[in-house]
Amino acid sequence: MKIIRLKPGKDRSLLRRHPWVFDGAIAKGGGDAGETVRVESAEGQFLAWGALSPASSIRVRAWSFDEAQRIDADFLRATLARAIALRERLGIESDGVRLVHGESDGVPGLIVDRYGDTLVAQFTACGVERHKQVIADALIELTGCVRLYERSDTSSRKLEGLPEVTGWLRGSGPTELMLREHSWQLGLDIAQGHKTGFYLDQRDSRLV
C-alpha cells in the first residue's frame, strides 16, 4: 500500500470531504498512475483512499473517506449502482440521461450518458482509466444496455498524461442514434457530437 503524506495544515479540504488533493499539498509519497493510495495528514491520520495522478496538478482524487473501505470491483459496482438508481427516481422525460457525473457520484473523472440502449463514457482521470474494464462490465450489467462507446477525447486527459481514446468498449454498431425527448425524436452522433454526443443538460430549454 502506497501512502501520500500531506504537509501541515493541508488536510482541511479532505476533512470537509472535498475530493481533490493538489500537488502542492503533498509532503511525500508517490505511486503508479491510477493506483489507490492512502492519504494521511502530516501527523499520520487517515484522511482518504484516493486514485493517484502523478502527472496532474490534481495529484489525488478521493474514492472514499472510510478507512475500512476496500477500493475494488465491488466498491465500484456499488457506487455506480447508487448513481444509476438516483437517475431512475427522477422520472426524466427522455431516454437520454446522464447516469454518472464524476466526483458528485463518487467516481472521480467518469462521465456516463445513456442514449436508449447505448452508453457513452468519458474516462478523464487516471483512477477510472486504471479500472476501465471493471467499470465497463459493471455499467453493462447494471443498465442492461448492449453497447458502450468511449469518448475519452477531452483535453483534460492530456493533463493526466493520458492519450485520447475513442471507440467501442462493449458491443458495436452505428454511432448515429435517435433520442427520445419529451414528444420528439432527435438525431445525434455519439462519435462526433459535443462531449458524449449531445447537450443533455439543455432538455428543459429545448421544451420551451
Distances (CA, A) of 101 to 2, 3, 112, 201: 27, 27, 7, 12
Using one digit for the tens of pLDDT, what is the confidence trace for 142-168?
999 999 999 999 889 999 999 999 999
- Do 146 and 124 belong to one domain? yes
- Tell me, what's the pLDDT at 13? 95
* Strand blocks (E) in the chain: 2-6, 20-22, 26-28, 36-40, 46-52, 58-64, 96-101, 110-115, 118-123, 147-152, 165-170, 176-181, 184-189
Of the candidate ranges 46-55, 69-78, 82-91, 144-153, the one whose mean pLDDT is the lowest: 82-91
Of the candidate ranges 17-31, 53-67, 93-107, 184-198, the one whose mean pLDDT is the lowest: 184-198
Of the candidate ranges 37-41, 66-70, 115-119, 179-183, the one whose mean pLDDT is the lowest: 179-183
pLDDT classification of 46: cutoffs 50, 70, 90: very high
Distance of CA 120 to the CA centre of its chain: 12
Q: Cell 477531452 sits at which residue?
A: 154
Last residue of a domain, one of 38, 64, 90: 64
Which range of residues forms the domain containing residue 31? Answer: 2-64
- Tell me, what's the pLDDT at 181? 65
pLDDT classification of 56: cutoffs 50, 70, 90: very high
Burial state string for 171-190 with b = 16 or more CB within 10 A and e = fewer than 16: eeeebebebebeeeeeebeb
- Tell me, what's the pLDDT at 89? 77
pLDDT at 47 over 90: yes
Note the pTM of the prediction, 2 decimals: 0.88
Last residue of a domain, one of 40, 64, 88: 64
- Do 15 and 100 belong to one domain? no
**Which residue, among 50, 2, 13, 10, has the nearest Cα to 27 in the 3D structure?**
10
Of the candidate ranges 15-19, 20-24, 94-98, 164-168, the one whose mean pLDDT is the lowest: 94-98
- Do 40 and 121 belong to one domain? no
- Do 54 and 79 belong to one domain? no
Cβ atoms 50, 125 nearer than 8 A: no
Distance from C-alpha of 70 to C-alpha of 76, rounded to nearest angstrom: 10
- Tell me, what's the pLDDT at 184? 57
- Do 99 and 172 belong to one domain? yes
**Which residue, among 161, 63, 76, has the nearest Cα to 103 in the 3D structure?**
63
- Do 171 and 140 belong to one domain? yes
- Do 50 and 128 belong to one domain? no
- Tell me, what's the pLDDT at 88? 82
pLDDT at 196 over 70: no
Q: Cell 458528485 sits at which residue?
A: 104
pLDDT at 198 over 60: no
Rg (CA), the chain: 18
State whether residue 179 is helix, strand or coil.
Answer: strand
pLDDT at 197 over 50: no
- Do 23 and 88 belong to one domain? no
Beta strands 36-40 and 46-52 are antiparallel
